[in-house]
């Protein structure tokens, strides 16, 4: 499958920057191809394709009876 041309055809009507960025993460397209499709630099500070950091959540300790 030609991922680059498929994504290029679908962006921006059916795909957004995040979805195109996911294709970079999954190694379907390169970061350079991301820039060619969106006009944005992959991984830039204001880029929605950059994965958001996961916050660790602590589970409350079980209540003692």
Question: pLDDT tens-digit profile of 44-58?
Answer: 765 555 555 556 667
Placement of tokens 């920057």 in the chain: 17
User: Tokens at residue 48, please?
Assistant: 């929605």
pTM of the model as a whole? 0.67
Q: What is the DSSP letter of 39?
A: S
Q: Are 9 and 36 in contact (CB under 8 A)?
A: no
pLDDT at 44: 76
The token pair at 4 is: 């680059």
How many whole angstroms separate alpha carbon 15 and alpha carbon 24? 13
* Token output for 55: 């916050």
């Amino acid at each position: 499958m030609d991922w680059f041309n498929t994504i290029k055809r679908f962006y921006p009507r059916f795909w957004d920057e995040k979805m195109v960025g996911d294709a970079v993460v999954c190694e379907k397209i390169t970061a350079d191809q991301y820039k060619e499709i969106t006009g944005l630099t992959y991984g830039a500070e204001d880029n929605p394709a950059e994965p958001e950091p996961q916050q660790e959540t602590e589970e409350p300790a079980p209540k003692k009876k």
